[in-house]
Amino acid sequence: MLLLAVDTSGKNGSLALARTTPGQSEINVLEVVALAGGAFSAQLVPQIAALLEKHGYGRHDLGAFAVASGPGSFTGLRVGLAAIKALGEALQKPIVAISLLEAVACSARMSAASQRRVLAALDAGRGDVYAGDYELGSTAENIVTRGAMRSERLLSREEFIAECKGASIITADVALAEAGRAAGLTVELIDSPNSAVIARLGWERLQRGETVPPEELEANYIRRSDAEIFSKPAP
C-alpha cells in the first residue's frame, strides 16, 4: 500500500511517499520532498502530483494519508490539513493525524527494550514552549515506539524547566536544549522530524485502526490564535 505523509506545520515543510506492507512495522520511504515555507498553498498539490508521477503512480494508487496536525503555524497547518481532507474524501481512503510533538518524542534515540518518560519540546515563540509529555518504549531493534501521552500543553520557559524534573528533554531547538542543560537536565538534541517520521507514525496508527474521518480532521494548535486572544467580546 502507498502512504502519503504531509507536514506543513513549520517555516518549511515536506511530503513523503512510502510503501507499506500489512503486518510489518517497517516502511519503505520512497522519497521525501522539501517544501519551502511561505508558499505551501501554491506548492503542495503540484508537488504531490509530481512525486506520484515520478514514481509511476497516480492519486488513485494512494491507500492512506498521514498528516502533521500541529502544533505549529496556523496558516501552514490549515493548508496541509485542507489538502489531505480533500484527498481523503475524494478517494475514500483513511487519514491519520500525527502530533508534531509525538514526532519529536519518537525521534529520540533509545537503548534496546528501554522505557522512559520524555518531554518533547518545540519553541512556541513569545518565551513559550509547546511541551508533550510521553512515556516511550523501544523494540529490540532500537526503534522507538509510541507510548502513553500524558499531556500536550503550552508552557512558559520557566514552567517547562520545572516540569522536566525526572524526564528527558527531546528537542530540535538549540536554545531550548541549552536552557535544559544549563538547568542540569538530560537533553537530547535531534534533527527536526520531517514527513518520513510522520509516515512511520502514521503507519503504526493505521495498523491499530486509529484513523480520523475527513470531516473530523482538525488542527492541534494548543495555543489560541491572535484573533482569539485579542478579540473583544461583543457588548
Burial 106-139 (b: 16+ CB within 10 A, else e): bbbebeeeeebebbbbbbbeeebbbbbbbebebe
Domains of the chain as residue ranges with CATH: 2-99+193-229 (3.30.420.40), 108-189 (3.30.420)
Strand ranges, E, within the chain: 2-7, 13-19, 28-35, 62-70, 95-99, 115-125, 128-138, 144-156, 168-171, 187-189
Cell of 118: 520524555
**Residue 113 predicted with pLDDT over 90:** no
33-66 confidence digits (pLDDT tens): 999 887 899 999 999 999 999 999 999 999 999 9
Question: Mean per-residue pLDDT for 96-101?
Answer: 96
* Predicted model pTM: 0.89
Cβ distance 36 to 11 under 8 Å? no
Residue-by-residue DSSP string for 29-58? EEEEEEE-TT-HHHHHHHHHHHHHHHTT--
Give me the half-sphere count of Cα atoms (radius 13 Å) on the Cβ side of residue 183.
22
CA distance 107 to 227: 33
**Residue 227 predicted with pLDDT over 70:** no
